Amino acid sequence: MELLERLCKTSGISGFENEVQEIMKKEFAKVCDEVEIDNFGNVIAKKGKGKKKVMIAAHMDEIGLLVKFIEKNGFLRFVKIGGIDDRVLLQQRVIVKSKKGDVLGIIGAKPPHLQKEEERKKVIKHTELFIDIGAKDDKEAKNMVEVGDPIILEPNFGKLSKDIYFGKAIDDRLGCYALIEIMKQIDIKESTIYAVATTQEEVGLKGAGVSAFKINPDHAIAIDVTIAGDTPNIKEKESNLKLGKGPAITIVEASGRGVITHPKIREILIKIAKEKNIPYQIDVIEGGMTDGAIIYKTRSGIPTGVVSIPTRYIHGPTGVFSMDDLNNTIKLVVNAIPKF
């Protein structure tokens, strides 16, 4: 649990993944034959010497914010990095990752007591929010932070009950953790396995495209999180995935705009799940994509599948997941790869 907690609490918004990078490089080095960080910041680990190449990928980056402007009164304006619902931002605690060190801040807005009736009915847009770092003016603020500094939501990690846990950036530090465990457990002579901790997934699946082009694997699996539909206000026809019912095997992402899982990969994953008594769920996604969406159309096309951990409250300050689902994801991929 210590490694997973460290991954979740570590800073790494898109384009600023260096802290997560170091963890992944260090952990991969313990269990893999070779590890490198490419020009795009992807951490690529290699294990085995077989002719067939298999790539497994999970992204390091998390959604977050970036300092855009410093007001004369010392408050910070910001832009969003990745898809964040403005409704979750108000009064959240954040950390500005300044070159001089971490700076704690609180996202503020005009208080409801001073809002007009029409204002109270509207979602406050992020462009109307600001970050209070306790500076008395812009001079003091500029001595603490700079325009362009990345901002993360306050780190958190813990246990709710039994196997249900919560944490910051579980999208997709759960996948990163899974990569390490898979590479630790897998040992096949017929293939060379490449585990790639990718960059900038949340802003365009960029790192996965670069690394897939370089590796040019014969098959690939992306490991990510997906939306659990077992909370109030979500209808089963919108999402029938549930925590604790096993990893989700994706058939289609974004109504076909994302990955359409290769039939061979899909059949292998489902067959292995049944043979090994691994609980699994089927995921058909109307919105959202994973690294698989860019990997499978790289070069002349790469047969690709996606295995995801059902998660509550994705792209918020805190996500909730089942440790059983995470462990079963690892078990499923470890047993499926030799069949590719």
Query: Which amino acid is located at 233 in the chain?
Result: N
Q: Which DSSP helix (H) or strand (E) runs through 82?
A: none
What distance, in Å, lies between the first and last C-alpha atoms of the chain? 30
Residue 197 to residue 159: CA distance in whole angstroms: 25
CB 168 within 8 A of CB 152: yes
Q: Can the peptide bond before residue 171 be classed as cis, meaning omega within 30 degrees of 0?
A: no
Longest dimension (CA), the chain: 68
Nearest residue to 131 (alpha-carbon basis) of 74, 85, 81: 74
Residue 308 to residue 192: CA distance in whole angstroms: 23
201 in active site: yes
Candidate list 17, 62, 201, 202, residue with the active-site label: 201
Q: Which DSSP helix (H) or strand (E) runs through 69?
A: strand 64-70
Residue 255, token pair as written in the block? 């109504």
Nearest residue to 168 (alpha-carbon basis) of 307, 310, 61, 81: 61
Residue 79 to residue 310: CA distance in whole angstroms: 28
Q: What DSSP letter does each residue of 278-309 carry, written as one string? A: ---EEEE-SS---THHHHTTSTT---EEEEEE
The catalytic residue positions are 201
